[in-house]
Amino acid sequence: MTNATWNVQLTVNLLREKLNNGHEEARRSLISVLDRQEYARYHYHEVATRWSELMTKASSADERWRILGWTSSKEERDLLNEVRLVMSANLIACVQTLHAIPDTLAFALFHSLQLSLPRGKDESHINAGSVGRWLAANPDLAIFSRVLQTILTSPTFLHLQALSNHGKHRSIIEDSMSADVTGTDTVPMRLRFAGFSFKGMKYPIVDALPLLATEFDRMSPIIIECGQMLNSYLELSPDRAVGSTAL
């Protein structure tokens, strides 16, 4: 996973200088975007470290069976169950944290760019999809819409989004370990999310850690770019002159 940050302090200073109101809401959301990236990184490495430790023990078929729980030792089974619990909890936390980033970024953009809610809408409608559409309708701000759309339309994000929403609203998609005892797989063991269906779409079985790492690494430079774009936009605005943008 890559290290993704931007000079958020510059952004915060510009918000304070340029905005008539809303700069505190924008500041908190911008900080939350960066915090969520760090939380996702933490959850990922909690899983990856334990998975790596298990893989060092998976040198033989017998050891792989033991890792899967086929052992006569209750103490060993209890230890493995504890490791599995920690990995499962952190996998779900990583999924949900990554999934939340676009909506948090959209809330930050809504306030940073001083958008106004369309008639009949309230703050519950401020999310990545809605803000992206509102920004796209304004030629001066459409570039920020493309940032959100780039995040939202990736196949890896869509898979992650479905994992998160299914887990929040229906049931948690289970992760599972499998072992190759035939010697035909390229890796001795795999940690995967189960396949599932959600809102008419089918999502296949997928290796868990590569999915999370791929989406984190894809999303991070997009967030950096968005921060740089926001700084450039604000720097060109007169002090206290960024007014509410009607939609």
Q: Given this model, what pLDDT does residue 237 score?
A: 80
Residue 2 has pLDDT above 70, yes or no: no
CA 67 centroid distance within chain: 29
> For the chain, which residues make up each domain, given as ranges?
8-181+188-235
Predicted TM-score of the model (pTM): 0.89
Please tell me the distance from the alpha carbon of residue 193 to that of residue 163, in angstroms, as a whole number.
9
Distances, alpha carbon 181 to alpha carbons 66, 77, 99, in Å: 12, 20, 35
182 Cβ neighbours under 8 A, 6+ residues apart:
none
Q: How far is 151 from 178, CA to CA, in rounded Å?
A: 31
* Residues 87, 190 contacting (CB under 8 angstroms): no
Q: Name the strand (E) or helix (H) holding 229.
A: helix 208-235
Q: What is the pLDDT of residues 73-107, one digit of tens each?
A: 788 788 888 999 999 999 999 999 999 999 999 99
Q: What count of Cα atoms within 13 Å lies in the side-chain half-sphere of residue 216?
A: 26
CA distance 173 to 77: 23
- Helices 74-112 and 128-136 cross at an angle (nearest 10°) of 30
Scanning the structure block, which residue is given the tokens 């869509």? 158
How distant, in Å, are the alpha carbons of 48, 137, 176, 188, 201 from that of 77?
20, 57, 16, 20, 36
The more confidently predicted of residues 221 and 81 is 221
Q: Identity (one letter) of the amino acid at 224? A: I
DSSP assigned state of 125? G
pLDDT 10s digits, 41-64: 999 999 999 999 988 877 776 777
Which is higher by pLDDT, 240 or 219?
A: 219
pLDDT in tens, 158-195: 999 999 999 999 999 999 988 876 667 778 789 999 99
The Cα 115–Cα 247 span in angstroms is 7
Q: Report yes or no: 46 and 86 within 8 Å, Cβ to Cβ.
A: yes
Q: Give residue 71's identity as a one-letter amino acid code.
A: T
C-alpha to C-alpha distance for 247 and 242, rounded to whole angstroms: 15
